[in-house]
Structure 1
C-alpha cells in the first residue's frame, strides 16, 4: 500500500534506459483507505511509465474532484498536474493539449466526475478525439460524500446501508464506442498483469484512449449486494482478450496461452498484441465490439481492449494545430503587434 511510507533503499531496483527506477515514478504517500482499488491503479501507472522508458516530466496529469482525482498526486511526482473543477477536467486537458501537444496527457476521473456532472465534457473530449489517456476509476459510488450511488451503479445493487439502486446505469465503455472513441478498454484494479499493458497501449495511442477500471471502494461499496465489490468482480470477471504492449526497440517476453493472436500497429511506435479467448472478437470492428458488450449476461464483467481505431485524425490534426508548443514559439510571432491585430479585426467588419 502506498499509504505506508516506503524505504528509500532502491539500489537493487531495475533501472530503465534513463537510469530511473520505479521509485522515480512515484508521488506522495496515498491518503486513501487501506485496500482501495485506486492505489492499485496508481501502482499500475508507475510500472507502465517505468517500463515504457518515459521520463516523468514528459507527462501532464489532469483530474477533477473525488477520491479518484486525488490519485494524480500519488504517481509521477516530477510531472505537471492540476486538479480542476468537478466534472470539468476534459476542458482543461483540451486547452493544455492545444497549446502543448508534446506531452503525454493523462486524465484521471471517477464515475461520478465523468458520468454525472462531467458527462457533457466527457462526450466532447471523445468527439474531438483529444490525444490523451482518460482513466475512469469506477467504483459505483461517491466515496468522498459517504457512498451515494453514482451513475454507473447497476440496477439492483445494494448500498452499504440497505438502499437498492433502481436507476439504469451509464456504461462508459458502450457510450465511448458509440461516441467515436478510438481506443476503448476495461480493466480491473485487482488484475495488474492486464491493466499495465492496457495503460501502456493507451499512453502510446494517438487519439482519445479510454480505460474504464472497476476499482472497488472498500469503505462504501465492498459488501454483499454490491456489483462493484472485490468478491463480485472476482466471481464474474471475464477477460475477453489478453493484451500485451510491445514498444519499438525494446524486447519484452511474455507467456501466452494457446489461441489465435492479432497485432495492431500503433502510430506512436510499438504494437498492441492481443491474445483472444473469444476468437470471433476483432477489436478493430466497431460492430463486433458493441456485440461483445451486448453479449454479456447478468453480472459478467468483460475486460481487455474492446475497440481500437488507428485511422481517425486527432483534434490537433483536424484543427491544423502547430506541433511546436506555444511556450517554444518566438514572442514576436505570438504577439505581432497592434497593427496586425487591427487588420485581423477589420476582416470581421
Structure 2
C-alpha cells in the first residue's frame, strides 16, 4: 500500500495547550473508499486527542488485518504503532502494555478481525482488563475480500449477491459486558458529536474500554442483480487485469437527541435505525446494559452511547503488581541482577 503525505496548512487553525493544531494529530492520506465510515472514525480520533491536549508520542496504535486496521496509518503519524497478524492485535497490545504502561494504547480492529479469527484474543484482553481503548469498526462484511458476511452480520441481511445471512450475529457489546469489561459503548461513525466524547472517555478510563462503532461499508452495499456489480462482472467476463471500480459517495452523517431514534438511509437504499440512550439511563448497571442491548435487537434498533462503566476495577498492571517503571527505563543493574539473585530465585522452587 502506498500513501501520500498531506499538505500542512495550519496557519489559521486553533491550537491546544501544547501549541498543536489538529493537523499535528493526522497521519498519511487515507486510501480507503470515498465515503467510508472508517475515515469518520479517524477524524473523531484526531479531534479527541487534540482536545485532550495529549502529545502524539504518548500514544501507541495497534491493529490487525482488514480495512479497519488501516486506520492506524491515518491519524497521529508521530505516535508509536504496529500492524499485527490477523486477529492477534490484543496479544501484542498486552505485551507492549506490560512493559510500558505509561502510553495511551489504542487498538483499532474490525468485526472480522475481532469476532472471528481474533475472538479468543478479544475475550482475554477484556478478561485481563488491559488498559487500552479498543475501537471496533463494525460493518458486518469482510471488505478486503469482497464483502462476505462477518460474524456481526444480522440474520436476514443480504449480501451484494442477494444471499440472506442465516447465522446468528455476535454482539461485541454483549460479549464485553458478560466477560466483565469496565467500559462498553456503541456509536455510529456518522455521529461525530457522540463519538468524540466517547473516545475521550475511553482514553481516560483506567482499564479495557470498548467502543463498537457502526461504520457502514459503502462499497459492498450495491443491490443484487446489478450488471455493474463486482460479482456479475467477475462471473461473466474474463478481464486481463483484475480490477474493481468504487464509485464516489458522500459521507453519511446524522445527529440524534438524547433518547431519540433516527432512521438513516444508506447509499443503496438500505435502512439503519439508531437510538441514543435516555437521560435517565444508568451506565453503572451491567444487567440493565445487557437488557437494553437485547431489547434493541428485538426492535431492530441499534442502541448507541455509553452503555456501561465501572471505574473501580483494577487494570492489568494493578492486578498483577507490575512495576510502574517501563522496562526500557530500568537501569542495567536492575535488568541484570547477577548470579546471586538468580540463585536466590531458583532456590524458591527447590
Residues 112-191 of structure 1: pairs in structure 2 closer than 5 A: 112-191=112-191
Residues 217-228 of structure 1: pairs in structure 2 closer than 5 A: 217-221=217-221
Count of residue correspondences:
308
Residues 33-112 of structure 1: pairs in structure 2 closer than 5 A: 33-112=33-112
RMSD of aligned C-alpha atoms?
1.9
- Point out where structure 1 has 5 or more consecutive residues left out of the alignment: 242-275
Q: 1:309 to 1:219 in 2, by over 3 A?
A: same
Q: Could you report, residue by residue, the CA deviation over 1:219-242 in whole angstroms, capped at 9, with x for unpaired residues?
A: 114659xx998368874111115x
Deviation at 1:341, TM superposition (A): 2.0
Q: Which of 277, 294, 298 is the matching residue for 1:240?
A: 277
User: Contact 1:233 / 1:301 at 8 angstroms: preserved in 2?
Assistant: no
2:266 matches 1:230: yes
Task: Report the 3-state secondary structure (helix = DSSP H, G, I; strand = E; otherwise coil) of the residue aligned with 2:299.
Answer: coil
Cα distance between partner residues in 1 of 2:265 and 2:6: 28
Q: Which moves more between the two structures, 300-309 or 335-344?
A: 335-344
Task: Report the 3-state secondary structure (helix = DSSP H, G, I; strand = E; otherwise coil) of the residue aligned with 1:186.
Answer: strand
Q: Which residue of structure 1 lines up, in the alignment, with residue 299 of structure 2? A: 298
Q: 1:142 to 1:235 in 2, by over 3 A?
A: closer
User: Contact 2:63 / 2:107 at 8 angstroms: preserved in 1?
Assistant: yes
2:332 matches 1:331: yes
Please tell me whether Structure 1 or Structure 2 has the larger radius of gyration of its CA atoms.
2
User: Contact 2:183 / 2:310 at 8 angstroms: preserved in 1?
Assistant: yes
- Point out where structure 2 has 5 or more consecutive residues left out of the alignment: 225-262
User: Contact 2:207 / 2:314 at 8 angstroms: preserved in 1?
Assistant: yes
Deviation at 1:339, TM superposition (A): 3.1
Task: Report the 3-state secondary structure (helix = DSSP H, G, I; strand = E; otherwise coil) of the residue aligned with 2:308.
Answer: strand
Cα distance between partner residues in 1 of 2:42 and 2:339: 48
Normalising by structure 2, what TM-score? Answer: 0.84
Cα distance between partner residues in 2 of 1:335 and 1:211: 41
Normalising by structure 1, what TM-score? Answer: 0.84
Q: Could you report, residue by residue, the CA deviation over 1:167-187 in whole angstroms, capped at 9, with x for unpaired residues?
A: 000000011001000000000
2:308 matches 1:322: no
